[in-house]
Structure 1
Amino acid sequence: MTGRPVRIGLQVQPEHADYAAIRRAAAGAEELGADVVFVWDHFFPLTGDPDGKHFECWTVLAALAESTSTVQLGPLVSCVGYRNPDLIADMARTVDHISGGRALLGLGSGWYEKDFTEYGYPFGTDGERLRGLAAALPRIKSRLARLNPAPAGRLPVMLGGGGEKRTLRMVAEHADIWHAFQDPATLRHKLSVLHRHCADVGRDPAQIEVATSVSGLAAHEGDPEELGPELRELGVSLFIVGAGGPDFDLGTLRRWIAWRDAVNG
């Protein structure tokens, strides 16, 4: 079992909602004691009316950095195909300063074709998007090292995805946090692959925090007593609940926070 304490995050899915509701959801998560508030990086709703209300990830994060005071903040995850990598680094550094060092930088290759085509970005193939992520990571790190002022906090890098040949290799090389979205049996296998990549690059896998989204993972996503211990035993320490607009129900988040408090003691 991981030695890291359990952390609980909320992924705010900014669809079908006014900004005031998004702000209230983040404030509510913070009041309940959530550790992290994430915002997904899409340009359109993923459920319901595909042309419904929606807001952009990084500008929402900047606003939430002002309206919150304790939660960590970041994208889950920011697609490197939507923005110049050096710009992503600068945006993350800026949000980090606005928040007083509470930002984390979640990164991925993207998957939702409508986001790309509607905004004029080339969608390409899975392989092309992964190569774009691989090329972006060193540029982001290089720009972060040169920015003045430097990030206010540690600004950990989180990578999302489970591709065994390329993505998990990038996780071993670059990530402070790996975000998975797999059932426990699949996660066990993916972790064994990640550990092999870590051995190849000379990195201790214990340095990488394992995060997973629990919403939609099982029929009992709202019952942490059933799902939590098995994932915890595999090494997951950051459990992420999703909530979509317009109402942002935080009931499941509340149950996971209560479980966290019982586990951490």
Structure 2
Amino acid sequence: MNPTAPYPARIAVQLQPQHAPDYQMLRDAVRRCEDAGVDVVFNWDHFFPLYGDPDGAHFECWTMLAAWAEQTERVEIGALVTCNTYRNPDLLADMARTVDHISGGRLILGLGGGWFDRDYTEYGYPFGTRRSRLDALGESLERIEARFARLTPPPTRDIPVLVGGGGEKRTLRHVARHADIWHSFVDVETYRHKASVLARHCDEVGRDPGTIERSTELGRAESAHEARRLADALYAEGVSLFTVGVSGPDYDLSLAEALVAWRDGR
């Protein structure tokens, strides 16, 4: 397979719903993302901040996505990523279908196995093991697909499913079987290896790996120049969706704006 990305380059922003004591800060950040020309606006599915003050301000994922669906007109929206074991998968399918309708067909359903033990402990979910959580993810993906087919009214489109993670035995197998988008944190060498593993899983299920869009985060880049350089290198390998993560209260979009310019200049 030609490694050059078969999809056009897209830029996403993950508005991390932490350290914004007033929801209007998030609402304003969503507006600025759409005005800046980004393609996708993500949040995340946690109940407490992941860095900074561990007891700082924080908002819930899916109620926020419904609000974004009403607020926005163009951008796709979703969670990067929903923790699979926080919600019954049939209920999650119904929630996703509903946000899909509210948004007019702009939802991306991002899913992952879950990992942040504080969420589990304080909200009373069984933490299990990494293996059990990833096995549950595979079971949930099947149930979600089945529920989508039974909902009335059905989703407005085949809701794109994004699976996050790079585990070679289970996560990438789930990607091969169920995902439209694969998201992972990768450099070029790591991506090449993981992509080869994904291709083997796709071969096992008779799927063309080129039908899976590739996604990664660039928020760890220390400058716009570094982010553009890394985006160039990864795009040449087949990655096309690039995300910048930003935290409250400021929600600085300068790096995302530089990447939008990079996208438009290609």
Per the shorter chain, which TM-score range?
over 0.9
- 1:260 matches 2:237: no
* Residue in structure 1 matched with residue 248 of structure 2 by the alignment: 245
Please give the root-mean-square deviation of Cα atoms over the aligned residues, in Å.
1.0
Aligned length: 262
- 1:6 matches 2:5: no
Matches of residues 81-230 of structure 1 in structure 2 within 5 Å? Answer: 81-216=85-220, 218-220=221-223, 223-230=226-233
Contact 1:220–1:226 (CA under 8 A) maintained in structure 2: no
The normalised TM-score by structure 2 is 0.96
Shift of 1:220: 4.3
Shift of 1:222: 5.8
- 1:19 matches 2:23: yes
The 1:106–1:83 alpha-carbon spacing in structure 2 relative to 1, beyond 3 Å, is same
Contact 1:92–1:103 (CA under 8 A) maintained in structure 2: yes
* Residue in structure 2 matched with residue 63 of structure 1 by the alignment: 67
Shift of 1:221: 6.1
Which residue identity is paired with 1:230? A
Q: Give 5+ residue unaligned stretches, structure 1.
A: none
Contact 1:7–1:35 (CA under 8 A) maintained in structure 2: yes
Shift of 1:4: 1.2
Which residue identity is paired with 2:123? Y
SS in 2 for 1:12: strand
Which residue identity is paired with 2:104? G
Q: Give 5+ residue unaligned stretches, structure 2.
A: none
Shift of 1:224: 3.2
* Residue in structure 2 matched with residue 31 of structure 1 by the alignment: 35
Output the CA distance in 2 between the equivalents of 1:116 and 1:182: 27
Percent identity of equivalent pairs: 59
Output the CA distance in 1 between the equivalents of 2:225 and 2:95: 34
SS in 2 for 1:104: strand
Which residue identity is paired with 1:242? G
